[in-house]
């Protein structure tokens, strides 16, 4: 192909030489230069030279193998130039690359434009942007998925753990004491055999939990110094209980998932305060329930309620996270989620995190015994969730587009004589706003159809017992008839596609097969474009 390109340029030059006097000359010279520049760019892409942008390796199918062979640890971001998430990650990714480069780490960062390098995108199964994969020791067939935070510090720590020892070897009492005092939280694994299965499992945990500092010890004197007689993982803290022991089961060994869960749960304070600095810890701990005390910290009377709250918390460590929320501080931002105002404080709420179900005492009682009893009743399934509902607008059913609230949803959506199409939205969601005109036009189109209802519901102000909305907008179709059926709509958000869906009874008709067209010798569509989640705002 390169020779063919050169001949074309040569013929072009000859033809311009012949025609130059008649055509003027200058424009033709520019065309020749542009053609030559284009060919030079094509030649550049075909080499295995590795260029860098802000210390990030720019990779493509011709230099990828070289990059793997030259770098022991290579984290690669597969991105799309138009992807907003990728654009937001770019500065942090470049900063992380620079930090690793400056510390002479064997870890390097690279990037691949997956929209241009489709062969690489297909090889590594890229289905969303950005996707980060770690290639170790040139292994191209089994890259590791990136599991860290999407910020510069998270990327650096995640790579450092894989570049060096995941845990520090502690050999004497002075060293271990200094290690414990060096951080607010440290984890030390005491193992009688550092080459045994339990110790190896501990090292695996240390690689993944990059936000904690890990050490290991095997000396008998260190077991004795910390009151241990068998393999044990210890969490040392400068708050609450100073040393928490997690003995290794001799029969089962060290369960990596279980010890990870225990370390995350016990690394938090017994009672957390919800602030800008602690919010990531609170939600990142993955504790299944949160018990919240809403109060105004400027009120000494309300502050005193923390004592009973704290006294109850110890019974539920790891299962329920107790959190104090200042309604006059950072906590003011979460009040709408609970349908509350600052005037409602002091009050208590329990949240089941997997579905955001909220539970409320019939009458707030802040004593430790009352709090314990309430939490236990919720965990035992003896308390029904407290569901938010706005009041229905006076004209909610007089317009073509029906406005539903929690109180009216059941009677409309599960009317057995109607086919009901509902948009669940958030007022602040730009994707919801973008499709609002189409949704209103759809309602206008079907306003005279007795058996079709087009509706919408603000899911930030209304909750349903058996339907959980995870992102905005979410569209559900409730067909007429018995059985309380529902179908989630996941196709294009335009009036014509909506109409096809409705006319076909809640499904989209099959499209005819793709026919052979000029420029497509196979008659098949190319691989689908990987998607980001930018078409919907996740909760």
Could you say which of 92, 387, 405, 429 is catalytic? Answer: 429
Q: Is 429 a catalytic residue?
A: yes
**C-alpha angle 293/387/280, rounded to 5°?**
45
List the catalytic residue out of 73, 80, 83, 305.
83
Beta strand 107-113 with 56-59: parallel, antiparallel or unpaired?
parallel
CA atoms within a 13 Å half-sphere pointing along the CA-CB vector of 33: 6
Angle at Cα 78 formed by Cα 72 and Cα 79, nearest 5°?
145
213-217/168-169 β-pairing: parallel
d(CA 53, CA 64): 16
Rounded to whole angstroms, the Cα distance separating 245 from 260 reads 13
Region label for 509, one of left (φ > 0), alpha (ψ between -120 and 50) or beta (otherwise): beta
Torsion angle of the four alpha carbons 91, 97, 102, 108, in this order, in degrees rounded to the nearest 10: -170
Which residue in 432, 435, 455, 464 is the catalytic one? 432
CB neighbour class for 394 (10 Å; exposed up to 12, middle 13-18, buried from 19): exposed
520 CB neighbour count, 10 Å cutoff: 12
In 38-56, which positions are buried (b, 16+ CB within 10 angstroms) versus exposed (e)? Answer: ebeeeeeeeeeebeeeebb
432 is catalytic: yes
234 is known as an active-site residue: no
Comparing CA positions, the residue from 413, 374, 409, 376 lying closest to residue 392 is: 409
Active-site residue identified among 80, 86, 206, 371: 86
Residues labelled as active-site residues: 83, 86, 429, 432
């Amino acid at each position: 192909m390169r020779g063919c390109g050169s001949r074309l340029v040569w013929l072009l030059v000859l033809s311009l030489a012949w025609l130059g006097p008649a055509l003027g000359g200058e424009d033709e010279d520019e065309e020749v230069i542009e053609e030559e520049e284009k060919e030079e760019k094509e030649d550049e892409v075909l080499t295995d030279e590795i260029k860098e942008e802000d210390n990030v390796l720019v990779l493509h199918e011709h230099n990828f193998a070289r990059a793997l062979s030259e770098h022991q640890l290579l984290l690669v971001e597969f991105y799309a130039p138009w992807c907003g998430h990728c654009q937001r990650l770019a500065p942090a990714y470049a900063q992380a690359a620079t930090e690793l480069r400056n510390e002479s780490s064997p870890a390097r960062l690279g990037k691949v434009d997956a929209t241009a390098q489709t062969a690489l995108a297909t090889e590594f199964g890229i289905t969303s942007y950005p996707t980060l994969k770690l290639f170790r020791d040139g292994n191209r067939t089994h890259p590791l998925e990136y599991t860290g935070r999407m910020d510069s510090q998270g990327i650096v720590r995640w790579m450092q753990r894989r570049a060096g020892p995941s845990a520090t070897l502690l050999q004497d009492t002075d060293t271990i004491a200094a290690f414990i005092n060096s951080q607010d939280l440290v984890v030390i694994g005491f193992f009688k055999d550092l080459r045994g299965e339990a110790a190896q499992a501990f090292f695996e945990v240390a690689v993944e939990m990059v936000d904690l500092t890990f050490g290991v010890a095997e000396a008998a004197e260190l077991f004795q110094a910390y009151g241990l007689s068998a393999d044990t993982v210890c969490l040392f803290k400068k708050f609450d209980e100073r040393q928490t022991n997690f003995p290794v089961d001799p029969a089962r060994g060290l369960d990596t998932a279980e010890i990870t869960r225990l370390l995350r749960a016990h690394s938090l304070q017994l009672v957390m305060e919800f602030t800008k600095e602690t919010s990531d810890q609170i939600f990142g701990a993955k504790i299944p329930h949160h018990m919240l005390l809403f109060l105004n910290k400027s009120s000494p009377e309300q502050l005193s309620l923390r004592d009973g709250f704290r006294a109850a918390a110890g019974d539920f460590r790891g299962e329920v996270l107790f959190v104090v929320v200042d309604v006059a501080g950072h906590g003011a931002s979460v009040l709408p989620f609970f349908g509350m105002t600052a005037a409602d404080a002091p009050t208590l709420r329990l949240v089941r995190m997997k579905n955001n179900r909220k539970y409320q005492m019939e009458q707030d009682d802040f004593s430790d015994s009352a709090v314990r009893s309430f939490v236990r009743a919720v965990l035992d399934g003896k308390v029904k969730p407290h569901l938010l509902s706005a009041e229905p607008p006076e004209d909610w059913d007089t317009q073509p587009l029906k406005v539903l609230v929690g109180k009216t949803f059941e009677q409309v959506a599960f009317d057995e004589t109607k086919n009901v199409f509902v948009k669940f939205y958030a007022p602040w969601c730009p994707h919801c706003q973008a499709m609002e005109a189409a949704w209103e036009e759809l309602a206008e189109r079907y306003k005279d159809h007795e058996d079709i209802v087009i509706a919408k519901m603000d899911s930030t102000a209304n909750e349903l017992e058996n339907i959980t909305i995870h992102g905005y907008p979410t569209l559900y179709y409730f067909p007429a008839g018995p059985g309380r059926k529902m179908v989630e709509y996941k196709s294009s958000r335009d009036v014509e596609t909506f109409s096809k869906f409705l006319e076909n009874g809640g499904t989209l008709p099959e499209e005819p097969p793709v026919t052979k067209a000029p420029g497509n010798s196979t008659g098949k569509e190319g691989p689908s474009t990987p998607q980001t989640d930018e078409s919907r705002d996740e909760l």
